[in-house]
Structure 1
Amino acid sequence: MKNHLRIRGFTLIEIALVIAIIGIIAAGIIASIGGVKDSQDFVADQQKLKDIKSALLEHVTREKHMPCPDTTGDGIENRVGAFCTATEGFLPHATLRTHAVNSFSQPFFYAVNRFANLEVIPQNALHSASYFTSAGACDPNETINQEDPPCFNLQTRPIQGQPGDGNFNICNERVQTCLNDTTELAARDIPAVVVSFGKNSQQTWGNAINGIPDCPSTLQAQERQNCRNLDGLFHQAQQSSNLNDFFDDSLIWVSSLEIKRQIPNLQLVLAEAPAGGEPETPDPETPTPEDPPPPFGLDPFPDIKPNNYNSIQDCSGLLGCLLGFLVNTVDFLIGTSLSSILPSSWQNTDSAKINGQTDNNSNHIMVRGDLNSATSGPFWNRVTIDTNLQEGNNSLVILRDLNSNVFSGSGNDYYHIERNLNANITAAGGNNEVYVKGNVINNPTIQTGNGSDLVFINGNLDGQIITGGGDDEVRIYGTLSNRASINGGSGNNTLYLNMPQEDYSTVESQISNFNRIYFNDGTSIIN
């Protein structure tokens, strides 16, 4: 009897099941390989960032200042004179002689103190912006050589009890959100941060303009915060490849203490030896105790910024017009400045004359007398004409009183009034500066928009100051009238009052929205 063996083949279901299993295993292998590659890229980024930090500190040793961001993409820091062109941009890798791109062939992002692109604040050796000033002894007309000290010194903020303005805080890895609470911070008051945007760097940068990344809304919240830094916070979160909370940014920062350590004659007094022991090494993120700073009132009211001003003036009376014409003609023909000795009343001008000279480019105007409001229309329906500087980075210098309301659009605008302010100033977005050497009288309003603004009143304040979003600084060296008010708006704002802290209760109700308030007795309060 023969045995017939039946060889049974695989059914279609079994074959499909085997193929599915093989597919799952292959997908796992591929994902594992991708994860290993991502991990390798992350480790490589970490090493590059360490190299960049070393290059930043070597630059301080060599040049006696921190570099500015690169806004053109050529790897060279961008400055206007001694000051930064911008406070965010590409890492200036060519200036630093370090890595140009991260492990994903994309640029590194570099952010510095948010006042470093102004002209007056970085000249103040006590301000954190001075770390980025390439001027010997904070004088923009001097360049640093090997014998000169840097602009910053041991008292430069932050120091213990005196935090720095315009710096950054770094959230630690243990929190998803960060509210500047000490327990949530890995570091605070950091002048400079470098970020690698990781695997999605190309998406994050997008069509960057002037070194500012696109920061699309599709980014996870913490990654978006790292590239569009609006509140001074950077995140060092846990790495995650989940689509809902994807995060693979890497960052390093440079503290003020690390910067100071690069200058030997500063380093000698950073730490004193305890009795019977070796000198202590302070933690890099913990400011070292220093002597109390001098009263802020010792900072002088600044001179007029040098610029190529267009001098605009009217004449007064037949004799004034004739003499003014002759003197200005002599100035034009032989290059003298005799017009500066004309009586101020012969050199006043009005808003209509100014408006005829401005456009949407940058306008730089000097009025040698008062700036008054022009009027238009018949006597029974006269209309006051305000001064309009329009768009652009404008400068307006008034050598006597400002009596006309002034408006300026977006841009970094500069106002300097040598005597009294008797009218409103309204400056839209941008980093604006307003200086009044005399008094603010008759209750006008100084209002600035979003941006890091500085308002400096050397005399008394009888009016309103309203600063918008951004990190703003207000200085009042005179007294406040009963109807005066100061509102810092949103942002990390600082106020300086020329009074002892014990008198603050007399004006406290007139002041709002300031994170820090300094007094002339060397004390301060933090709100």
Structure 2
Amino acid sequence: MRSTGHKTKSKTGATHFQSLQKGFSLLEMAIVLVVLGLILGGVLLPLSTQMEKQDRDETQRTLEEIQEALIGYTMTNGRLPCPDTNGDGIMDMLTTCTNNQGTIPWVDLGTGKADAWGQLFTYRVTGNFADTTDGTGCGTPTAGVSFELCSTADINILDASAGNPVASQIPAIIISHGKNWATTTSANESENTDTDTTFVDRLYSNNTAAPFDDQVIWISPNVLKARLVSAGRLP
């Protein structure tokens, strides 16, 4: 009987110990999962940020390539190209550039056509800097050049919708509408999707209340004219 009692006690003690062991294992597992969640959260967020930075850097390089190509095109042809309005990569115009806003004529320029998110670049140009008529009426026209040293462009860039000027009298501007181009509700970004001559360029912001991830680059009228003077296309 003693032997049986001893065995019962031993069995009960072992069962209690095993139960404690199992309980500690579940607790430890929960702690490990929490720690792993924190670690993964800390790793994945910077990874997402890094990937977006890579996309923005790639897009910026393409924008700068397009900017140089536009200047090169103007030095060769005496005018800026008109926009592409039907998506085939070829500018659309007759003798005048009546459709001043569209997408980059990447076939004519020999550049990339889209940003890192697959969206075509928006391109706006001042019409009398892109037509086939010599000069703009402000002075003596130069043969084969669409504008003159005294010509004034019509594109203006602000630091916010109804904000302060960043640049004025710009002949051409190129825009990537960023990662959120299909869903944006930002007033500042909306200014870059209408068809007027006012645009916004400001610092990147992922604030959900006022996001701004557009990337904007433009052609300076002074640089453009100076390049044509240096090339002997303007007096």
TM-score with structure 1 setting the length:
0.37
| Structure with larger RCO (C-alpha < 8 A, sep 6+) | 2
Given that 2:155 and 2:170 are in contact with CA atoms closer than 8 Å, whether structure 1 keeps it comes out as yes
SS of 1:263's equivalent in the other structure is: helix
Q: Which residue of 1 aligns with 2:193?
A: 227
Aligned-residue offset at 1:155? 1.7
Secondary structure, in 3 states, of the residue corresponding to 1:237?
Answer: coil
Amino acid at match of 2:158: C
Of 240, 244, 266 in structure 1, the residue corresponding to residue 205 of structure 2 is 240
Deviation at 1:250, TM superposition (A): 0.4
Match of 2:131 in 1: 133
Moved more, 184-193 or 237-246: 237-246
Residue of structure 2 aligned with 1:45, choices 41, 44, 59: 59
Percent identity among equivalent residues?
A: 28
Where in structure 2 are the equivalents of 1:6-17 lying within 5 Å? Answer: 8-9=21-22, 10=24, 12-17=26-31
Residue in structure 2 matched with residue 357 of structure 1 by the alignment: none
Judged with a 3 Å threshold, the aligned counterparts in structure 2 of structure 1 residues 246 and 14 are, in CA distance, closer, same or farther, namely farther
8 Å contact from structure 2 (residues 82, 99) kept in 1: yes
2:125 matched residue in structure 1: 112
Q: Deviations over 1:461-508 (max 9, x none)?
A: xxxxxxxxxxxxxxxxxxxxxxxxxxxxxxxxxxxxxxxxxxxxxxxx
Match of 1:187 in 2: 167
1:121-153 Cα deviation digits (max 9, x unpaired): xxxxxxxxx2111234579xxxxxxx9341311
* 1:154 aligned onto 2:119: no
Q: Is the 8 A contact 2:101 2:195 kept in 1?
A: no
**What's the CA shift for 1:262?**
3.0
Separation of aligned partners in 2, 1:236 and 1:105? 21
In structure 2, what is the equivalent of residue 171 of structure 1? 158
| C-alpha distance in 1 between matches for 2:199 and 2:101 | 13
- Structure 2 unaligned blocks of 5 or more: 1-13
Letter in 2 for 1:193: I
Greater fraction of residues in helix: 2
Equivalent pair of 2:89/2:106 in contact (CA under 8 Å): yes
- The separation in 1 between residues aligned to 2:179 and 2:135, in whole angstroms, is 43
Q: Which residue of 1 aligns with 2:108?
A: 95
* Contact kept? 1:225, 1:233, Cα under 8 Å: yes
- Residues 1:96 and 1:32: Cα distance change in structure 2 (over 3 Å): same
In the TM superposition, 1:236-315 aligns within 5 A as 236-264=201-229, 265=232
CA distance in structure 2 between the aligned counterparts of 1:30 and 1:19, rounded to whole angstroms: 16
Show the counterpart of 2:9: none
Check the 8 A contact 1:56/1:67 in 2, yes or no.
yes
2:78 pairs with one of 60, 64, 69: 64
Residue 35 of structure 1 aligns to a residue whose secondary structure is: helix
5+ long unaligned stretches in structure 1: 117-129, 140-146, 158-163, 204-215, 269-527
Matched-pair contact (CA < 8 Å) for 1:196–1:249? yes
Q: Return the letter of the residue paired with 2:146.
A: C
> Which of 41, 46, 49 does residue 35 from structure 1 map onto?
49
More strand by share: 1
- Work out the CA distance in 2 between the residues paired with 1:71 and 1:233: 19
Match of 1:199 among 175, 179, 182: 179
Higher gyration radius (CA): 2
For the 8 Å contact 1:71–1:89, the answer to whether it is kept is yes
Amino acid of the structure 2 residue aligned with 1:55: A
Mapped contact 1:153–1:266 kept (Cα < 8 A):
no
Count of paired positions: 211
Distance 1:99 1:250 in 2: 15
Q: TM-score, normalised by structure 2?
A: 0.79
Show the counterpart of 2:7: none
- Over 3 Å counting, the alpha-carbon distance change for 1:252 and 1:14 in structure 2 is same
Q: For residue 207 of structure 1, what is the aligned residue in structure 2?
A: none
**How many Å apart are 1:105 and its aligned residue?**
1.9
**Distance in 2, Cα, partners of 1:42 & 1:79:** 31
Give the drift of 1:75.
Answer: 0.4
The offset of 1:192, in angstroms, is: 1.1
3-state SS of the aligned residue for 2:51? helix
- CA drift of 1:187 comes to 1.1
Report Cα offsets for 1:418-466 as digits up to 9, x if no partner: xxxxxxxxxxxxxxxxxxxxxxxxxxxxxxxxxxxxxxxxxxxxxxxxx
**Does the 8 Å contact 2:59/2:176 carry over to 1?**
yes
**Whole-angstrom distance in 2 between the partners of 1:27 and 1:240:** 21
Shift of 1:248: 1.1
Secondary structure at the residue paired with 1:66?
A: coil
